[in-house]
A and B are shown apart, each in its own frame.
Chain A
């Protein structure tokens, strides 16, 4: 028998909320990518050792720790590499359903994550079929850019 059960005391609780605000400096490379979004452009950085174009752009290679060299504009369409459709609500995250995918844009060698919009997600099987790996999508841009990565998303490329 636990001490609590022996004492007959109701358990006490203390409630708290972590209410913290941050203003993260995003640096030159990320800032330039975000500025491109306002012009309807997606930019990557070339990794000189492998020749890969990294999207989203990084200032150094993920593989050999060397600096990336030049900016490369990639296409505003590409192919779904992986995806999920979320049906479960998570506190402080958006209301479901929503679809997320990593997409390799034409001209890029790595994939960019984003929402996939413009799909009816209420029919799970149909949504999964339209989001299948290998399906093509186009990038859509916000009419009123916020200067964040929320300024783009993906939509099915159509027939």
Chain B
């Protein structure tokens, strides 16, 4: 029995993610995401009632309000259309928006489709530097790598962790990505190779970092009414969570800190919001698959903990014991290889949901988790600030 309106992910599609694509314009790339999602869902575009378009900072693609450029590409002419931008969480925020569209009763079929070409600016971190406060913080060259390097430094300090623990995440995810034909970085790596890779911002090295990816993705969401009327079997969204952390990283440390920048406590609350809706009380035994947003290896450590799959500071111990990797007992984390291996920013959150849906429908291919029924997906945007979570399952029965 569902505690929230039943909305399903009927189908999804992804292009192969790469560094650059010169054979298409940006809208043509978006169209690939739209077409792949519709083909996978098995419905024509005429069936789509409304469109949600994920697009992160305009400056990454170099076109102001780039959603206007892509109306025809997703197939939205003559129909409702909305752009969503929530930084790194954009893709999942777009899916949540589509869920809301359907849960409200307004629409039965909503398409989320988009793309990104992160490398095209030649300077993604210069773009991302522009998110900090112009009076206090902009004169210092913060970017998303330094922001998360400082989180990693705190995690290491609080939990007596080291760079080797981070490397374990990269090794696991690269091995997973080698099985995922859509992933960008598919070459397996060793701990020693990660540790020997060049320093970006200590303790983050190249081997701990996501690539700047180009590619498209899309999902078709449907109402329970529509699914039943057409005899369809989507992956069902069983719970959702959203939460927001303060803009100021300096407020996440200090003598009276509430939520440490080492951790992701606000994300943890978002996970538990979704879990309560889904009826999950023990994530370690009830969740088969976690597709979590972690663009750097260090981030996956505290996201695993926020998801309730390990106690605080304990994710490295579980990883070292071989947990979370394909073939291990318990929850498998990022069987697709995750964001660490593919990060087309605008659609990264949407890909998490698409992968989670494929897993519970047992359609994930070589990186399928055996007999997966329940999956959780998450995304993070802003300066580790906007959090989204979603639980999916293969049916609407109680999650025991």
Query: Is there an interface contact between A109 and B255, defined as CB atoms closer than 8 Å?
Result: yes
**CB < 8 Å neighbour of B154 from A82, A86, A113:** A82
**Using Cβ atoms and an 8 Å threshold, which residues of chain A touch B140?**
100, 113-115, 149
Interface contact A83-B150, CB-CB below 8 Å: yes
**Would you call B253 an interface residue if the criterion is a C-beta within 8 Å of the partner chain's C-beta atoms?**
yes
**B202 touching A124 by the CB < 8 A rule?**
yes
**Contact status A81-B154, CB under 8 Å:** yes
Taken residue by residue from 135 to 147, chain B's Cβ proximity to chain A (1 for < 8 Å, 0 otherwise) reads as: 1111111110110
B4 at the interface (CB under 8 A from A): no
Whole-angstrom distance from the CB of A16 to the nearest CB of chain B?
A: 6
Residue A43 at the B interface, CB < 8 A?
A: no
Given the contacts A86-B201, A133-B157, A92 and B126 also touching, CB distance less than 8 Å: yes
Kindly report which residue of chain B lies nearest to residue A34, judged by CB atoms: B135
Q: Summarize B's interface: helix, strand, loop or mixed.
A: loop
Q: Does B229 contact A (CB under 8 A)?
A: no
Residues of B in contact (CB 8 Å), total: 46
* Interface flags, A26-68, vs B, CB<8A=1, else 0: 1100100110000000000000001010111010001100000
Q: Do A93 and B153 form a contact, CB below 8 Å, given A33-B136, A87-B200, A100-B146?
A: no
Residues of B near A63 (CB, < 8 A) are 246, 258
* Residue of B129, B200, B253 most packed against chain A (CB within 10 A): B253
- B198 sits at the interface (CB 8 A): yes
Partner of B251, one of A62, A148, A149: A62
B123 within 8 A of A: yes
Q: Which residue of A lies closest to B28 (CB)?
A: A3
Partner pick for A84 among B126, B138, B202, B251, CB 8 A cutoff = B202
B151 — which chain A residues lie within 8 A by C-beta?
Answer: 82
Contact B201 A108 (CB under 8 A): no
**Which of A22, A56, A127 is in CB contact (< 8 Å) with B250?**
A56
Chain A, residues 91-119, CB within 8 Å of chain B (1/0): the string is 11110001010101000111111110000
Cα distance A94–B134 in the bound complex, in angstroms: 17
Which B residues lie at the A interface, using CB under 8 A?
Answer: 22-23, 59, 62, 122-123, 125-126, 129, 134-143, 145-146, 149-151, 153-154, 157, 198-204, 246-251, 253-256, 258, 261
Closest 5 CB pairs of A and B: A11-B22, A111-B250, A30-B135, A84-B149, A81-B253
